[in-house]
Amino acid sequence: MKIFAIGDVVGTKTVAYLKQTLWKKRSELDIDFVIANGENASDIHGICCADAEELLSAGVDMITLGNHSFGRKDICVMLSDSQSIIRPANYPACVPGSGCSILNICGWKILCINVLGTALMDSMACPFATVDRILAREDGGYDVSILDIHAESTSEKIALGRYFDGRINVIFGTHTHVPTADEQILPAGSGYITDVGMSGPVNGIIGADAQAVIERMRTKIPTHFKVADGPVSVHGALFTLNTDTKRVTDVRRITF
């Protein structure tokens, strides 16, 4: 089984680019399942229902979110009604949506989990304990598991990867918008990468207009950020899973 994890999708222009390219890439690489972080898809802050539907029609099977999950309020309806979009599981239980979902793909039940890091980010429930509870609750109900760790701290992501090695098949990080070069197979067989990077404009600063970001850093005056102009590219990681042993046999970064 081949699972493709796509890094933070930034802007509607990138959504349109995925609609042009992703199905072809799925065929070219023989990809079975695509999971993408879409929390910045609606021009940086959040994702609306229309853009979420566009991502799903583009060839994404599961959309995960992050600290901007509720930047666009209309997504609350889709979070409550759809099995193909999840928000971080360690948000308070009262918020709309779920932090995990099981999809049936290629005859396999795939458990997808989304969690927020807590180091250098908003205060949330412990990601370790949150994911532990999900695995215990869903035990026996799935064949393959995937975890998107949306976090600022690389050490926290690595710690979560090591902690769930052998218990979750595919573990990847999002949020920093910069891909890391540490794709690997952990000792107990989980595929891991600290951050799969960003899918968005290549000429900006993590997707935003470079000049606006620079001015804010120089002057400390609040500035409205917009998605950068120019070409876009997609960054992600392709995980190859042996469905007999349930061990990942290959992890490699993909850019197009």
- Report residue 215: phi and psi, to 5°: -60, -40
- pLDDT single digits (tens) 86-143: 999 999 999 999 999 999 998 999 999 999 999 999 999 999 999 999 999 999 999 9
pLDDT at 83: 98
What does the alpha-carbon distance between residue 148 and residue 168 come to, in Å, rounded to a whole number? 11
Cα dihedral: 132, 135, 185, 24 (round 10):
-130
Active site residues: 68
Residue 63: pLDDT band with limits 50, 70, 90: very high
Burial call 90-117: b when 16+ CB within 10 Å, e when fewer: bbeeeebbbbbbebebeeeebbbbbbbb
221-235 residue pLDDT tens? 988 889 999 999 999
pLDDT digits (tens, 9 = 90+) for 112-122: 999 999 999 99
Q: What is the mean pLDDT of the chain?
A: 97
Q: Which two tokens stand for residue 204?
A: 């900006």
CATH of domain 2-255: 3.60.21.10
The two structure tokens encoding residue 256: 């197009």
CA dist 110 and 33 (Å) reads: 9
State the Cα angle at 102 between 63 and 135, rounded to 5°. Answer: 105
